[in-house]
Structure 1
């Protein structure tokens, strides 16, 4: 596929978003303007998952790390949008899995790493173990003229951001100069994709209303283990695939159970996808490539 880099979103095993510009050419990230850059998103690693839906459960994360290390140009930073580990009731095992993920991600050549939890990491202890290894669950940072915000909609087992975090978000947005592009990272979708399967944030509309006061906003999330694109007004929302197993499309089957591994199509639903994006029209042309591409398998 002939990819237009200035309008490119590239996604891969676990949701690798490789973007040199997320906003129209007239905005801060136009090619040639100060602020041109790229970053990587990885999501839903589910380290420790024991199910037959991925017989290479201990191999996909190292493969993803190898793929990211091979990117040229290298990304400016890497963000992990939650579910670093698979849930466990054992607090000792939970910390063991978090420690293992922390150790493996040190093999990444890019050292600017941003982490946030998923409900598998945080809901059973309100994020305490996650915080011990990876720090705050919500925060903001700036990079090349873009303001990035990570929101925590998982530490509360009721899937809420909560009044305190919404107040923090309002204050944070208010402090940004007019016209500053905003990129939001979150685990669950902020909008009601399919609440029956926990694919929603109960007070997410309040966050969307706050974000809607800004002219340029893009949201990246995980949790649903599949590609999905949605516009809420002028805000574009893009989901990342999982690194561990695929999940069914909303309401396509009675229960939200992982899709079975297909030996004839290994890594189906977990592989590279290249997306040529036209943000103004929210149109995407998608090509799937096997996950083991470039990973030495």
Structure 2
């Protein structure tokens, strides 16, 4: 079971936050000790958004970059789990937003930065503009004994991974041992969180089925603009906060709509996440500094 826990890691960050420890990767302490590391997850920055849900939208991403640059212990790498930019029907403006987004995040001290699309970036043109600026929409990489898999469940307007990508995932997993440490990163949840709000992946169950034989799997995603934790069998799924506006809890109101901006707490519900990988996975939610 998952359980909340305060960690000494907060002292290293120098920031207020809540540490959440997931009991993953059993019987791997000896292997993990030599390979402990941490990375930062950004999600749902929606560069280009303008509206009452975030009057400071033009500067929130810059503040988040400054927050991460100020960490006492810099991460090994940074990943953006989708919706880098806010949707637009104008193909030229879409590219302008992506260009400006890249300019802002180039100020990150850590230069190993990995991107994934959200539906706001890719669903209108099947990822054409996204690929011009950020490359492949799904890929893998390895870091200190952990295998990372980035999945694309947004380029298809029907919110599918698709048979081709599922076959690619199956082929990749066949190269893994069943006790290998695997981190899956995606934008939409792979499970049916709130289908009526588009909080699902049409064929996500097929991906979960492929992952089930592997005993050490964790999934990080965005899309729902809030911290959320869920289990499918032994696989933990962790949603991240947005950097633009918060959304209501799944099914808590008739329609999905941004939570109202609170001038007294302008950064409420917004932030990034620091993920420490040892024999366990420790999540520290990092608020965005106001200055």
SS at match of 2:64: helix
Q: CA deviation at 1:275?
A: 9.5
Residues 6, 18 of structure 2: 8 Å contact kept:
no
Q: How does 1:1-297 map to 2 (within 5 A)?
A: 2-5=6-9, 23-24=24-25, 26-27=27-28, 33-271=33-271, 291-292=288-289, 297=291
Measured in 2, the distance between the counterparts of 1:117 and 1:272 equals: 17
Measured in 2, the distance between the counterparts of 1:85 and 1:53 equals: 16
Measured in 2, the distance between the counterparts of 1:125 and 1:23 equals: 38
Structure with more contact order per residue of length (Cα contacts < 8 Å, sep ≥ 6): 2
Measured in 2, the distance between the counterparts of 1:244 and 1:141 equals: 28
Q: CA deviation at 1:20?
A: 11
| TM-score normalised according to structure 2 size | 0.88
| TM-score normalised according to structure 1 size | 0.87
Count of aligned pairs between the two proteins: 285
Structure 2 unaligned runs (5+)? none
Residues 79, 114 of structure 1: 8 Å contact kept:
yes
| Aligned-CA RMSD value | 3.3
Residues 98 and 202 (structure 1), Cα distance of their counterparts in 2 relative to 1, 3 Å cut? same
Worse-superposed segment, 46-55 or 16-25: 16-25
Residues 191 and 20 (structure 1), Cα distance of their counterparts in 2 relative to 1, 3 Å cut? closer
Measured in 2, the distance between the counterparts of 1:29 and 1:89 equals: 52
Measured in 2, the distance between the counterparts of 1:150 and 1:22 equals: 22
Q: CA deviation at 1:178?
A: 3.8
Q: CA deviation at 1:155?
A: 0.1
SS at match of 1:98: helix
Residues 245, 269 of structure 1: 8 Å contact kept:
yes
Cα shift readout 1:208-261 (whole Å, capped 9, x = no counterpart): 000111110000000000111000000000000100001111111121111110
Measured in 2, the distance between the counterparts of 1:29 and 1:270 equals: 36
